[in-house]
Structure 1
Amino acid sequence: MKNTNKRSVTTKSVDSVDSSRRSALRTIGLFSTVPFIGGAWIGCGDSSSTTTDVQNITNFSTDLVLDGDVYTAAHWGALKVSVKGGKIVKSQNAFSGLEENPLQAVTADLVDGKYTNRIKAPMVRKSYLEKQAGNNALRGADEWVEVSYEEAIKIVSDEIKRVRSSKGPTAIYGGSYGWKSSGNMHNARTLLHRFLNLGGGFVGGLGDYSTGAAQVIMPHVLGTLEVYEQQTSWPLVLEHSKVVVIWGANPVDTLRIAWSSNDNQGLEYLKKLRDSGKKIICIDPAKSSTVQYFDSKAEHIRVVPNTDVALMLGIIHTMLVTNKYDKDFIADYTEGFEKFQKYVEGKTDGVVKDAKWASDICGVSEEKIKELAEVFFENRTMIMGGWNMQRQHHGEQAHWMLVVLSSMIGQIGLPGGGFGFSYHYSNGGAPTTNAPVVGGISIGKVSSGGAEWLSDGSAVSIPVARVTDMLANPGKTIKYNGKTIKYPEIDLVYWAGGNPFVHHQDTNALLSAWRKPTTIIVHDMYWTPTAKMADIVFPITTPYERNDITMSGDYSNMNINPMKQVVAPLEKAKSDYQVFSDLAEACGFGEQYTEGKAEMDWIEEFYNAAYQNAQKAGVVMADGNPMPDFQTFWSANRPLVFDATPEGLDFVRYADFREDPILNPLGTPSGRIEIYSEVIEKMNYKDCKAFPQWFEPAEWKGMKDKPAEFALLSPHPSLRLHSQLANTRLRDEYAVANREPIWINPADAKAKDIQNGDLVRVFNKRGQILAGAVVSDIVDEGVVRIYEGAWYDPSDASEANTLCKNGSANVLTMDIPTSELANGNSACTALVNIEKYTGTPPENTAFLPPKGA
């Protein structure tokens, strides 16, 4: 039967889907995709594989299309890839009529392009292969030797057996933090953890880099992670909100990607918001892509980097003294406001947090702060908070304070009111569809004895942002969310699906710690900085050289996408699944790892479980037809499209709680929004107290005795997904002097005799990089911007504090915890110096293979 819901959007073909199609997230779908999972925690993974009748798996053709179109998917969306003579000649969005996404056009480059830099064979570092004493020190500076696949399997399996038998599972770190393939089958992180888990256990990670502080503080405040939850639906925002505040987020750039596959709806909703006539306010220290996108249709309020909490306090104080805040909401839905109020009024520390106090810190005028307080309270206001402001020293305070501000406005749980921390990520707010959720492979269970420590994930895993500290300081204890964690002594690091030498802070400190373990094993498609810093590397197929399946929209579940193999694989490359299957066989548990299934068996099984659920629930697709069986779906070579449900279209976050906080309490001890947390108070942390407050960051523009001159902004890039796509032709559009660009205010550039296109040395006590100057008022005086994600390219990897020739921002950032509570990363807290580079420019070798490869 066809969908007769009058609020549904008319269905079009896969090549002509309506750009305003609505869809969103069910909780179960969310937790099958979010990137915060603790790696060694039993029961955690991208999604447990769903039980199905294996006998129903059928055989079908998987022949490659040599000339024609193949449909697949990536983080940047469902793709139609055109092939001619077995080579990729074009890629584009599988759906027409949508906002342009330049990330979708460079698929060919990821297989074989100018900067691709594929790993073409199994490789072992020469001094490691020869078992030279002290060879660890040569990581990144050694030459490489090609070995056969069989020899590589033996080397790795023997080494894992040695470490397990001599030092136990706590000596193996299964890092694998990163944005791995979109596919549910070839999920490098889960496949690695499955291998390590079935072999007897490993040390994994807690939390993530994206929301390390917020995802720990929010359960204390709201009883939920919040940052990975569905938002009030965009249609309701467009209908009811009078004021929309985009605070510390840059959705024009970040909505180009998603953790699973982009459903493309976020940018469409931003376009509608831009044209809606609503009052739009962007609070951001720089003139971001989003500020430029809205142009005159939004007000841009520049805030001094790292001072958002002070600005919020100034607004809150103004609301208190003008008596313009919702006292009833505070009384009925929050806990501990009175104690927080005393802090704001200066009764606890003698400092009144009024508009003048805030202005002196954050750089926003007193008049504007007072105006914001009135505008927020007098209008239906939706505050869309970003994640950069919690990736800072004391980052827990920003989201906590924003919840308090929203509570005082009093519109939480109303259509178009309140706050949301995921509108900028994975198209949050796109209404939930009726699609059944496609599962994925699980990490399995520990199969050998001696791994009881896995029963408590937090006791055996370390916060992911503390990896350098762990490697450098075995036996050290740290505080984490009310617990104490003791670092294990790691002898072997196994990494697949990530690039820590780009995403982790203070690269030079990581480089020093990275040389302590005996063995580093890496899976990668390319000679990334991390692969170059390994001992053993396996060449892995790209997602376009294998089959898989995924869904679109982490929140909407709008599509089920076939990820059909587009081209033949590189000759000696293998999938992660093949490598781990062979390693498991060599280690004696091959049957448990594969369960007797090949790639397509798993993919069909995942689909069939969803298919059976759809049949039971009577689900039909957006075109009114029932979901097809697997063979029909796979042969059709097209994504399936599902429609938003009425519940998804009308979803208001916290509506049930607002309607009846007694019957629908939050998951906090009080059941209410905890402005004051007794649980945190009992932890007695010096850097995260019982209520949100202003803490001066370790480095910031307004500090006394600054260790460096300029505040460094290092936001998500416009034309990459972190470090992904850095090795495509997109680089030609932003590289300056063949380096990563640095934006410098004209006044600062003049003072330093720097002009557009000049090479600039950017440095502080942690490191030094080369970057290409872009002189622009995008940044204020005293502020510079370098996008994170550039591939680290050391001038001499054997030297301490060597120059990064490609401009990796994390060479300069601080590797300090946000606080003892979350131990998240503080990537957005850093000061740097700049000077014109006058020497002979060194060759940029970021996209060249190492010696011997």
Structure 2
Amino acid sequence: MLCGRLSGMDELPYFCGKDCGGDACPLLAEIENGRVIGMRHNPAAGRWIRACGKGMREGQVHHSPHRILTPLIRNGPRGSGSFKQASWDEALSLIAERLGEINARGAKTLCISSAGATGAVHNTEVLSRRFFNCVGGGVFVSGSYSNNAAHYALSRMFGGSLGESGFDAETIAWSNLIVLWGANPLEARLGAELPARLVEAARRKVRIIVIDPRNSPSARALGAEWVAIKPATDSVLAYAILHEMLHHPDFDMEYVQKRADGFEKLAAFVEGQNDGVPKSPQWAEYICGVPAGSIRSLAALWFEARPVMLIPGYSIQRTRYGEEPFRLMAALQLASRNSGLRGASTGSLNNRLPGVRVAKMPDLSDRANTPSVPVLRWPDAVLEPERHGTGPIEAIYAAGSNFLIQGADVRKNMRAFERVSFSVCHELFLTPTARWSDVVLPAADAFEKADIGIPWAGRYVLYRPRIFEPRGLARSDYSIFAELAERMGAVDRFSEGKSEDEWLEQFIRASEIPDPEEFRKTGIYIAGGEPRAGLEGFFSDPERNPLATATGRIIFESPLWEKSPPWTEELGPKEPSSAPGRKEEAPEDPVFQLLTCKVSRFVHSQRGAWPESTRGARIHMNPEDMRQLGLQDRQAIELRNARGNLQGRTHADSGLRQGVLWTEEGLWDPPVNILTDTEGTAESASCIMHGIEVRLRPIPQESSGHS
């Protein structure tokens, strides 16, 4: 049903509001007779800020016949997908009663909500936290699956100045060399503006180098030079480049020492003063697979081609020592005096810059006194609460997330859902997490909610009106939580007497947007200002512009620099520890390193509108590996490690280093996280989802699935 008096043909501003690396991309929805008939770029956004193909398919999601349109209550075994339809009164009464009973017993509800929907008002993670903080508290997850290890390292290096360490995408116009290190930004987006700026740089013949185990879609589209590194050895290559930089005639230790503390320890480690092993290109070649001559050339380029735009991707920190690569990204930029230059980067995450000032929903958290667990270990908190200090957890509540398969160790996640006495999920589609829940509530989609779009990166914000009334019995997450809060005696604190539309108007008035009516009309406000290089003032004059750290400078420290040999064995990929009852693999099965890659067509596991896309793993292999093993294209194979096994079909891929496989993350059946574990990275317990050691064997008969 159309909202207001909208009828006939119209175009309205729209953004998806998905946690995809764009978060708010400017679109116009073409509406005719109550249906979305097309999506196109919003011209008010100009040339550079662009949506991706996922946004262009949003109408298909809205009108999908597979959407959940009524509350569901489980009437079969968990995971069976057997539910009965229920009224809102029945579903909400059940939830309020069960959560109240759990609170009364002194037990906890684990909130595993995430930003399945983003925005100033309708951010699902924020609304979930706000609700539980109003009704007696819960246990929350800390960090993210996206960039937790990177954030851990960078926040300790840049302190309170981390939020100024990124770069504006438009500064790429000044770059002489672009290095995409594990980054695939045309597919795994890092903001809505960066892809167009990179394409323009390629058109101008700026040299682009991609360091990655696969020749990614971004690398191919940009005509980049491919450095085919072994998975999980990015730190080794970075050490070797830094080793060369330390001996380069343009290296200036005095310059570095004025801007960093602890760099001398890193330099001593790289020179081999600790362990007698210089981290030279010759040393690195065998470990990371990049020829020593290429490493020397890269190090020289870093000085010769200034400004160098180094863009690290999230993949390099999803490994056992995932914190280390981001320390080294910052070290390379500092040592080569690229940091602070327009057209270069600090080596930090690109979006760490202030955006447009806009108010947004507070979650009411008292973080100092709120129990939380690392997001990777949420199932461990359910199964072993005493180890995590949470107290007993008797319920799981999920809104805007599909953690059952997006989280590591799917088997353990299932055991966690089996352990609790109650579980709730807000969803558009019957995802694996929804199938394992006791109550599933139909959530409104982006066409059915008005909001302000806050982008992943950039100095702009978007507006989206409510275009349609919710389909069926669907409701917005705000509406669901407000009614639950009312039933649990906390509505005044949750809503503060405001509807979602009143919150939206309050946030617009409290923002820096100068003309709210123009903002609503065009759907976008773009702030002006000079293009920003991260921490430009600090790097040009560190005494006058100190960082918000204990010393006013970048702080370099790492537990790896104190390790004794043979520590290098620990930097590579590691097979997950043994699982109970799992037999060792046959020694003749060859070992490969598996990458789990994001693909452009979907936001992680948000695939419910296209059920066929949720099934069937394509396992990409180098053709020479296939030839040596006697495998044919599209042949059934099985990957196995101590955690489980995954079956799929081969897909010949010449843009992949030998010894490496990749398959897309986000599949429902089989879920690749059947092969990962919750041990996490060494320092921050962040996810390890790249460089996973697996054994491969052909499957003689037609079969697919996992165990």
TM-score (norm 1): 0.75
Corresponding residue of 2:493: 592
Q: Partners in 1 of 2:425 and 2:315 — Cα distance?
A: 29
Q: Give the equivalent residue in structure 2 for 1:93.
A: 41
Q: Is the 8 A contact 2:345 2:533 kept in 1?
A: no
Matching residue of 1:711: 593
Partner in structure 2 of residue 185 of structure 1: 121
1:644 matched to 2:528? The reply is yes
From the superposition, tell whether residues 493 and 69 of structure 1 become closer, same or farther in structure 2 (CA, over 3 Å). Answer: same
Judging changes above 3 Å, is the alpha-carbon distance between structure 1 residues 715 and 195 closer, same or farther for their aligned structure 2 residues?
same
Offset at residue 608 of structure 1 (A): 2.1
Instruction: Choose which of 232, 257, 268 in structure 2 pairs with 1:306.
Output: 232
1-structure distance, mates of 2:280, 2:289: 14
Give the equivalent residue in structure 2 for 1:839.
701
* CA deviation vs aligned residue, 1:291-339 (integer Å, no higher than 9, x gap): 10122xx321110000010011111222334555222322321212333
Q: CA deviation at 1:699?
A: 3.2
Aligned twin of 1:604 = 505
Relative to structure 1, is the Cα distance of residues 326 and 555 closer, same or farther in structure 2, using a 3 angstrom cutoff? same
Q: Which amino acid aligns with 1:810?
A: N
**1:590–1:553 distance in 2 versus 1, CA, 3 Å:** closer
2:185 aligned residue: 251
Equivalent residue for 1:482?
none
2:265 matches 1:342: no
The equivalent position to 1:174 in structure 2, one of 106, 111, 125, is 111
SS of the equivalent of 1:520 reads strand
Residue of 676, 687, 691 corresponding to 1:825: 687
Structure 1 stretches of 5 or more lacking a match?
A: 1-60, 128-137, 259-263, 446-453, 478-485, 620-626, 678-684, 794-803, 845-853
- The equivalent residue for 2:424 is 521
The equivalent position to 2:101 in structure 1, one of 162, 165, 176, is 162
Equivalent AA in structure 2 for residue 417 of structure 1: A
Give 1:815's aligned residue: 678
The correspondence for 2:462, drawn from 560, 564, 574, is 560
Q: Helix, strand or coil: the match of 2:276?
A: coil
1:613-632 to structure 2, matched below 5 A, reads: 613-614=512-513, 619=514, 627-629=515-517
Identity %: 25
Q: Does 1:140 align with 2:89?
A: no
Q: Distance in 1 between matches of 2:423 and 2:561?
A: 35
Structure 1 residues 163 and 64: CA distance shift in structure 2, 3 A: farther
Return closer, same or farther for 1:210/1:633 CA change in 2, 3 Å cut-off.
closer
1:183 positional shift:
3.0
Equivalent residue letter for 1:325: F
- Please report the TM-score for the alignment, with normalisation by the length of structure 2: 0.89
- Distance in 1 (alpha carbons) for counterparts of 2:233 and 2:560: 19
Name the CA shift for 1:63/1:599 in 2 (closer, same or farther; >3 Å): farther
Amino acid across the alignment from 1:403: A
3-state SS of the aligned residue for 2:166?
Answer: coil
User: The residue matched to 1:221 in structure 2 has which SS?
Assistant: helix
Whole-angstrom CA distance in 2 between matches of 1:117 and 1:689: 54
Call closer, same or farther: CA 1:672–1:180 in 2, change over 3 Å. same
**Do structure 1's residue 460 and structure 2's residue 360 form an aligned pair?**
no
Structure 2 residue 338 is the aligned partner of structure 1 residue 411: yes
Partners of 2:8 and 2:442 lie apart in 1 by: 24
Alpha-carbon offset, residue 242 of structure 1: 2.2
Q: Is the 8 A contact 2:329 2:348 kept in 1?
A: no
Q: Do the aligned residues in 1 keep the contact of 2:154 with 2:348 (CA within 8 Å)?
A: no
Q: Secondary structure at the match of 1:556?
A: coil
Amino acid corresponding to residue 662 of structure 1 in structure 2: E
Q: Does 1:569 align with 2:470?
A: yes
> Is the 8 Å Cα contact of residues 81 and 566 (structure 1) preserved in structure 2?
no
CA pair 166-225 structure 1, distance change in 2 beyond 3 A = farther
Counterpart Cα distance in 1 of 2:250 and 2:570: 28
Q: Aligned in 2, Cα 1:90/1:628: closer, same or farther, shift over 3 Å? A: same
Distance 1:117 1:769, change over 3 A: farther
- Give the letter for the 1:696 counterpart: E
Q: 1:273 aligns with which of 189, 201, 204?
A: 201
- The match for 2:637 among 743, 748, 760 is 760
Amino acid at match of 2:657: D
The 1:676–1:72 alpha-carbon spacing in structure 2 relative to 1, beyond 3 Å, is closer
Give the alignment of 1:109-258 within 5 angstroms. 109-113=60-64, 117-126=66-75, 138-141=77-80, 143-168=82-107, 171-177=108-114, 179-224=115-160, 226=162, 229=164, 231-239=166-174, 241-255=175-189, 258=191
**Is 1:107 the counterpart of 2:35 in the alignment?**
no
Matches within 5 A, 1:537-552: 537-544=440-447, 546-551=448-453
Cα distance change on mapping 1:476 and 1:283 into 2, 3 Å? same
Secondary structure of the structure 2 residue equivalent to 1:762: strand
Gaps of 5+ in 2: 576-586
Give how far 1:253 is off. 0.8
CA distance in 1, matches of 2:156, 2:11: 49
Amino acid in the other structure paired with 1:500: F
Contact map agreement 2:597 2:664 (CA 8 A) in 1? yes
2:297 alignment partner in structure 1: 371
Inter-CA distance 140–473: structure 2 relative to 1 (3 Å threshold) = same
Q: Distance in 2 between matches of 1:555 and 1:230?
A: 12
SS state at 2:265 partner? helix
- Does residue 69 of structure 1 match 2:11? yes
Q: CA RMSD in A?
A: 2.9
Q: Could you tell me how far 1:706 is from its partner in structure 2?
A: 11
Query: Which residue type is aligned with residue 720 of structure 1?
Result: F
In 2, Cα distance between equivalents of 1:643 and 1:143:
50
Q: Deviations over 1:653-695 (max 9, x none)?
A: 1221123222322222222122247xxxxxxx689979xx956
DSSP-derived class of the 1:419 partner:
coil
CA distance in 2, matches of 1:265, 1:118: 31
Matches within 5 A, 1:26-41: none
Q: Structure 1's 331 and 438: CA in aligned 2 closer, same or farther, altered over 3 A? A: closer
Q: What secondary structure is seen at the aligned counterpart in 1 of 2:214? A: coil
Contact 1:813 1:829 in 2 (8 A): no
For the residue of structure 2 that corresponds to 1:383, the secondary structure is strand
1:746 to 612, 618, 623: 623
1:214 Cα deviation from its structure 2 partner: 1.5
Could you give the per-residue CA deviations for residues 719-747 of structure 1, whole angstroms, max 9, x where no partner exists?
112122x2345x87x89xx6232211112
Q: Deviations over 1:101-156 (max 9, x none)?
A: 3212212221233xx622232112225xxxxxxxxxx4213622222211111111
- Equivalence map 1:429-468=2 (5 Å): 437-444=357-364, 454=366, 456=368, 460-468=371-379
Residues 640 and 372 of structure 1: CA distance in aligned 2, closer, same or farther (over 3 Å): closer
Letter of the 2:196 counterpart: E
Q: How far apart, in 2, do the equivalents of 1:518 and 1:271 lie?
A: 52
SS of the aligned residue for 1:830 comes to: strand
Instruction: Go from structure 1 to structure 2 and tell me whether the alpha carbon gap of 1:727 and 1:758 turns closer, same or farther (over 3 Å shift).
Output: farther
Where does residue 664 of structure 1 map in the other structure? 545
- Change in 2 beyond 3 A, CA 1:89/1:740: farther
State the alpha-carbon separation in 2 of the partners of residues 825 and 816 from structure 1.
8
